[in-house]
Structure 1
Amino acid sequence: MNVKTRFAPSPTGFLHVGGARTAFYSWLYAKHTGGKFVLRIEDTDIERCTQEAINAIIEGMQWLNLEWDEGPYYQTKRFDRYNAVVEQLLAENKAYKCYASKELLNEIRKEQIAFGTKPRYDAYHPRVIAANTEATESSLFCVRFRNPKEGSVVFNDKIRGHITVANSELDDLIIRRTDGTPTYNFCVVVDDWDMKITQVVRGEDHINNTPRQINIYKAIGAPLPEFAHCSMILGDDGTKLSKRHGAVSVMQYRDEGYLPQAVLNYLIRLGWSYGDQEIFSLEEMISLFSLEAVSKSASAFDADKLLWLNNHYIRSLEPKYIAKYLQWHLDKKEINTSNGPVITDVIQLVGERCNTLIELAEQSRYFYQDFENFEDFETDAAKTYLQPAAKEALELALNKVKTLHSWTTENLHTVIVDICNELELAMSKVGMPLRVAVTRQSQSPSVDAVMMLVGKTRVITRIEQALTFISQYEVQ
């Protein structure tokens, strides 16, 4: 069997965490089996679907590097195909025209609720029969699928196991509305048939749709795909994941400084496991993933765990990979890296201390930005370390770096050690004033390595600025 999976979002909003996990599981299964992955935009709900949401979904998929082999297909461009199948079903008496108005059906539903019966469409209700009998050629009608009345729908879900639903529990669903547009449950089946989808991976909220769709597959003579319904993702408080948990869209995680690799590693663990292993390369994810290993229990979203993973990947991934995603944040902060050290060298030096790319971008600033005002100093750091007592050490440092011919980390370290020895000072009494002078802050990697990347010209200028700051401090 040639495996073919699909991700088929409705573009009524952004690509959220649950949708991204579904897309990733579908993508992984296709990659694991050497199959193909299809992106399909299910935009039949014309009133609610927007181009903005379509763009956001595609942008989210691209940011996660979930490339599709086919698509994106759009259901709104396939109406002729759907209508042809509707007409086929009408001709075979597997579907029928229903003239009962929405208002009439709402009245019947209220009656059913009042009598304690299950509210549902009833083709044999006297008022529905009367509406169909009294209809004229100009009367509005929808088309309903003639669902089997006997027997059961039985299928084996790859995640949830054996599922049986009696046909008596299913009503005759609408497959084409009164305005002529086809409906979701019908379009999905035709699409999966035409696109030769073999595995349908989606959220558990679609379980109720599956028996209805299976009956349509059978009615049109389409082969049944395998189904796998993923459980929902809960917030850390056990309630349904929502905006208050920070889950707005996948692109929000880009905006907050997460790497796609970290997000993918986190998503795969929201319902799937391989022993006690927490960190997986993409190659390992593809090699080890299986739908049978996906849990049918709900998963809890842990923001701290995602942050931990992000720090791990910032520390361990190739700087070139990180630079690709860091650049977006650097541009947003208007940090121009064209006049300064190679950004991958900065990432290697600073990255270990950063949990997010936002932090990494901010920590990269002093390697590229020229400071002009004393306001650029971190206030507490300047008050603590740029006092008159630091003046002698900084003056000696200035003289030594000006005459330093070979600008290397090792030679700069030697300069600092020599200053400590000559002035009989502890390393902190020299290193900390230098750090604040060069970086404008009290926290940074080893100051000799920082000075090496900042460069000789900028280091000299910044030490001179620090001495000017101390002079003004003395005057006060």
Structure 2
Amino acid sequence: MSDQTATKPRVRFAPSPTGFLHVGSARTFIFNWLYARHNGGTMVFRLDDTDVERNTDASVQSIFEGLRWLGLNWDEEYKQSERLDLHRAAAQAIFEKGLAYRDFTPAHAAEGEASSAQGAWLFNPGMRELSREASDRRAAAGEPFALRYRVPRGAGRLVQFNDAVYGEMSKPADEVEDFALLRSDGNPTYHLSSCVDDADLRITQIIRGQDHLTNTFKHVLIFEGLGATPPQFAHLPLLVAPDGAKLSKRKHGPVVSVTTYRDAGFVPEAFINFLCLLGWSPKNDLEFMQIAQLTELFTLEGVNRSNAVVNFSEETPFDPKAVHLNGEHLRVLSVEDLTQRLLPFFVNAGLIATDPSSSPSSFENGGIDDAAIKKLLAVTPLIRERIRLMAEAPAAADFFFLSELPPYDPAELIPQISKKEQGDAALALRVLKHAAEVLDETDFNHDALDHALREAAADLGLKAGPMFQPIRVAVCGRKNAPPLFETMVVLGKETCLTRIRQAEEKLTTL
């Protein structure tokens, strides 16, 4: 078993494929990644898949799908189930040192004994004190057994380690049970496999959730049994719901799954930024940070001890800070980059069609023609200030892509002349008719539209607001829309005039 000899950090992310990629697990991965990159070290990915009864292919897919979305690479990859011979050999070596013993107690009986003692069970004296000769004889006869670590007993004996977050930790050895290294079926336990792999892969820092803190006392003993120097431990505060309960899918639903954030239109840069602020504080107290800045600033000294609250409710399913940060990150993306990221949301909404026979566009989106990409490129800068999640984009911009506007209330076309004076349908109709006449003779560029429609307002004795509102509603189908002239340029003269004339017809129904 290798000792810890690496001069540069080697950290690992070691998920068990028993469920989706949890946001807490994602944060653990990110903190490990940042620590490795900040210190010029190595990031190891290890799939801890030895729990064959609970592992699922769907969980494996969820983990890789979530990590690929984050876009943070790793340097080495291992699968724990392919290293079982190493684990069993390590268990045998610990046994040969006299630091473990065979326990022939039937598994169901041992479990009953432990539960009846309400967790106070520490060891079975009859098995712990069984002679080696008797143990060998029973094993040779094929009697099943679990292999247990022989935890040192005696007054004053402590199991100790220094945690980079929680400081000096110690526990009387008499309070640590003789835990299993191998199950009665010969398979290694999580405790053994994890420590053997950490030692063999020369992991120097183990950065993981605070819920593993109690396991670490057992792990320190295993490293001792392996003759390996334990890594430095750093346990991260838990992520909890507003009521203080640990986040779980059973209780809190899909908000705890990484792919939920992806599907809602978070960009990974913002999601990473948000997770970093849950349990870690940079010295400069910044909130908005890009990956490069996070890498530069990250240290374990900045990790807090208190649990981090993720604020959400039925009305606001995502933490408001996460949504705000996502909007900030959207606004610093280039138009081309943001357009590329928005494209799947418009396709899924049915606003942009895919056609396998069309020529690939400059964005290399096979099946989507260049005209659709060009329009979305023009729309993106008009809506980027109006959305915080990419999933909001289709609803904010659907009228650019629909051949016909959804039904809207014709009363929306009636302008507000002043705070005290409301216009009527006749005024709205005059505005739209005059606008149509003017626009029919106007070049569709921003400055020309601005000049022509302001002159048209003057012709009618109106201010700009009452003139522009009916036109905005007519061409967009709503009062709340992107800047009018830029919107009209993207829609084009033919579409704008058609929609204005349709609006005129709607007004006749009032």
Aligned residue number for residue 358 of structure 2:
none
Aligned residue number for residue 309 of structure 1:
325
Q: 1:139 aligns with which of 112, 129, 143?
A: 143
Distance 1:418 1:383, change over 3 A: closer
Preserved contact between residue 279 and residue 307 of structure 2 (Cα < 8 Å): yes
State the one-letter code of the partner of 2:380. Answer: I
Residue identity (%): 32
Preserved contact between residue 123 and residue 129 of structure 1 (Cα < 8 Å): no
For residues 447-476 of structure 1, give each alpha carbon's deviation from its aligned partner in whole angstroms, at most 9, with x where no partner exists: 1111112223322332233233334x26xx
Aligned residue number for residue 483 of structure 2:
446
Aligned residue number for residue 432 of structure 2:
394
TM-score normalised by length of structure 1: 0.90
Distance 1:199 1:15, change over 3 A: same
For residues 200-237 of structure 1, give each alpha carbon's deviation from its aligned partner in whole angstroms, at most 9, with x where no partner exists: 11011101111211221122223321110011122223
Distance 1:464 1:251, change over 3 A: same
d(CA) in 2 for partners of 1:301, 1:55: 25
Distance 1:270 1:181, change over 3 A: same
Aligned residue number for residue 261 of structure 2:
253
d(CA) in 1 for partners of 2:429, 2:192: 79
Preserved contact between residue 206 and residue 233 of structure 2 (Cα < 8 Å): yes
Distance 1:242 1:379, change over 3 A: farther
Preserved contact between residue 4 and residue 196 of structure 1 (Cα < 8 Å): yes
What is the Cα deviation at residue 368 of structure 1?
1.9
Q: 1:26 aligns with which of 32, 40, 46?
A: 32
Equivalences for 1:418-457 in 2 at 5 Å?
Answer: 418-457=455-494
Aligned residue number for residue 193 of structure 1:
199
d(CA) in 2 for partners of 1:182, 1:460: 74
Preserved contact between residue 14 and residue 248 of structure 1 (Cα < 8 Å): no
d(CA) in 2 for partners of 1:356, 1:345: 19
What is the Cα deviation at residue 346 of structure 1?
2.0
d(CA) in 2 for partners of 1:11, 1:126: 34
Preserved contact between residue 377 and residue 441 of structure 1 (Cα < 8 Å): no
Is structure 2 residue 336 aligned with structure 1 residue 331? Answer: no
User: Unaligned 5+ residue runs, structure 1?
Assistant: none
Distance 1:104 1:253, change over 3 A: same
What is the Cα deviation at residue 252 of structure 1?
0.7
Equivalences for 1:354-373 in 2 at 5 Å?
Answer: 354-371=387-404
What is the Cα deviation at residue 317 of structure 1?
3.1
State the one-letter code of the partner of 1:122. Answer: F
- More displaced stretch, 24-33 vs 161-170: 161-170
Preserved contact between residue 398 and residue 463 of structure 1 (Cα < 8 Å): yes
- More displaced stretch, 333-342 vs 79-88: 333-342
Q: 2:503 aligns with which of 459, 466, 470?
A: 466
d(CA) in 1 for partners of 2:97, 2:411: 82
Distance 1:234 1:414, change over 3 A: same
Where 2:12 maps in the other structure, the secondary structure is strand
Aligned residue number for residue 290 of structure 1:
299
d(CA) in 1 for partners of 2:225, 2:411: 75
- More displaced stretch, 142-151 vs 252-261: 142-151
Equivalences for 1:40-51 in 2 at 5 Å?
Answer: 40-51=46-57
User: Unaligned 5+ residue runs, structure 2?
Assistant: 1-6, 312-318, 354-368, 416-423
What is the Cα deviation at residue 132 of structure 1?
6.0
Aligned residue number for residue 175 of structure 1:
181
Preserved contact between residue 377 and residue 436 of structure 1 (Cα < 8 Å): no
d(CA) in 2 for partners of 1:180, 1:381: 76
Distance 1:262 1:216, change over 3 A: same
TM-score normalised by length of structure 2: 0.84
Preserved contact between residue 410 and residue 503 of structure 2 (Cα < 8 Å): no
d(CA) in 2 for partners of 1:379, 1:39: 56
What is the Cα deviation at residue 45 of structure 1?
1.2
State the one-letter code of the partner of 2:305. Answer: K
Aligned residue number for residue 273 of structure 1:
281
Preserved contact between residue 100 and residue 132 of structure 1 (Cα < 8 Å): no
Preserved contact between residue 144 and residue 175 of structure 1 (Cα < 8 Å): yes
Aligned residue number for residue 385 of structure 2:
352
Distance 1:94 1:383, change over 3 A: same
Aligned residue number for residue 124 of structure 1:
125
Is structure 2 residue 331 aligned with structure 1 residue 320? Answer: no
d(CA) in 2 for partners of 1:133, 1:108: 24
What is the Cα deviation at residue 426 of structure 1?
2.4
State the one-letter code of the partner of 2:147. Answer: V
Aligned length: 464
What is the Cα deviation at residue 380 of structure 1?
6.7
What is the Cα deviation at residue 315 of structure 1?
2.7
Aligned residue number for residue 411 of structure 1:
448
- More displaced stretch, 295-304 vs 136-145: 136-145
Where 2:294 maps in the other structure, the secondary structure is helix
d(CA) in 2 for partners of 1:387, 1:272: 58
- More displaced stretch, 22-31 vs 346-355: 346-355
- More displaced stretch, 3-12 vs 94-103: 94-103
What is the Cα deviation at residue 32 of structure 1?
0.6
Where 2:295 maps in the other structure, the secondary structure is helix
What is the Cα deviation at residue 92 of structure 1?
3.2
Aligned residue number for residue 237 of structure 1:
243
Where 1:216 maps in the other structure, the secondary structure is helix
